[in-house]
Amino acid sequence: MSFSEADIAAIWLTLKLASTVTVLLLIIGTPIAWWLAKTQSWLKGPVGAVVALPLVLPPTVLGFYLLLAMGPNGFIGQLTENLGWGLLPFTFWGLVVASVFYSLPFVVQPIQNAIESLGDRPLEVAATLRAGPFDSFFTVVLPLAKSGFITAAILGFAHTVGEFGVVLMIGGNIPGETRVVSVQIYDHVEALEYAQAHALSGVMIAFSFFVLLGLYGFQRKQTSFLSPRGV
């Protein structure tokens, strides 16, 4: 089983994309998850629904509207052009933005659940000990909700690796820039190069299996050791 230079470039690009997206998602997703977990506002329902939309929408539909929104006549496109960044489609950062949208529920929901299950008590205790909001977030919430954050990071990463429809719609198949593994496999299949498709798919299946195995192994350990009270 040997890989062409293009296959290896696609693997690297995919890992780079998924890592970048995961870091950004944790930064963006955490405040959203926090707000959703704590708020009493009537907006909780609508915002939660918008965050979950990518779970329901077909990726090609999402990709098509991102292409329109990021284009010269779309609101994102006009914003990025006014900021002097140019247009996002067909660029690595365009894929990053699209993937952040697409994988958002996979990161927000585990964190939200973890924060909700903490309850208000630990934060009230921290407040009586005069911990500021940031202090109590990093010393109380983060350690206690650790499993939620790790689950979120792994799911966000894995989901971005498996992304296809959105990338296909806005990527433009540029080697080293937007041609990720899933697109490369698709190209092999369409070109009837089944041997190469099998090889690359094999790598993807093995990778996904071990990531998920690690995730479930980790979750089991968490429940058996850290939550003796069965939380």
Partner 1 sequence: MTAKQLLLSTVLFFAGSGLWIKQLYAAEINGAEEINVAVASNFKPVMNDLVAHFQQQSGHRVKLSFGSSGKIFAQIKYGAPFYIFFSADQAKPIALEQEGLIEPNSRFTYAIGTLALWSTKKNFVTEELLRLKSGDFNKLAMANPKLAPYGAAAVEVLDHLSLTASTQPKWVQGENIAQTYQFVSTGNADLGFVALSQIIDKGHSNSGSIWIVPEAFHQPIRQDVVLLKRGKNSRAAAELLQFMRSGEAKKIIEAYGYKTLTSTSKTIPITTPITTPITIPITMKNPEV
Q: Which helix (H) or strand (E) holds 78?
A: helix 75-82
192 lines the binding site for partner 1 (CB under 8 A) = yes
CB 13 to partner 1: min, Å: 15
Q: Which helix (H) or strand (E) holds 219?
A: helix 194-221
Q: Which of residues 50-69 bind partner 1 (CB under 8 A)?
A: 64, 67-68
Is 17 or 69 the residue whose CB approaches partner 1 more closely? 69
82 lines the binding site for partner 1 (CB under 8 A) = no
The secondary structure of residue 84, as a DSSP letter, is T
Is 81 or 124 the residue whose CB approaches partner 1 more closely? 81
89 lines the binding site for partner 1 (CB under 8 A) = yes
185 lines the binding site for partner 1 (CB under 8 A) = no
Interface characters, 155-174, with partner 1 (x: CB under 8 A):
-------------xx--xxx
Is 140 or 169 the residue whose CB approaches partner 1 more closely? 169
- Provide DSSP, 8-73: HHHHHHHHHHHHHHHHHHHHHHHHHHHHHHH--STTHHHHHHHHHHHHHS-HHHHHHHHHHHHSTT
Interface characters, 95-134, with partner 1 (x: CB under 8 A):
----------------------------------------
Please give the distance of CA 50 from its chain centroid, rounded to a whole number: 15
State which of residues 23, 79, 125, 191 lies at the interface with partner 1 (CB under 8 A).
Answer: 191
Is 24 or 189 the residue whose CB approaches partner 1 more closely? 189
User: Residues in contact with partner 1, total (CB under 8 A)?
Assistant: 22
119: left (phi over 0), alpha (psi -120 to 50) or beta: left
DSSP percent split of the chain into helix, strand, coil, nearest 5? 80, 0, 20
CB 204 to partner 1: min, Å: 18
Task: Choose among 127, 138, 114, 139: nearest CA to 38.
Answer: 114
With a CB cutoff of 8 Å and minimum separation 6, the contacts of 140 are 122, 123, 126, 131
CB 89 to partner 1: min, Å: 5
Task: Choose among 74, 73, 62, 71: nearest CA to 90.
Answer: 71
Q: Which residues bind partner 1 (CB under 8 A)?
A: 64, 67-68, 70-73, 87, 89-90, 168-169, 172-174, 183, 186-187, 189-192
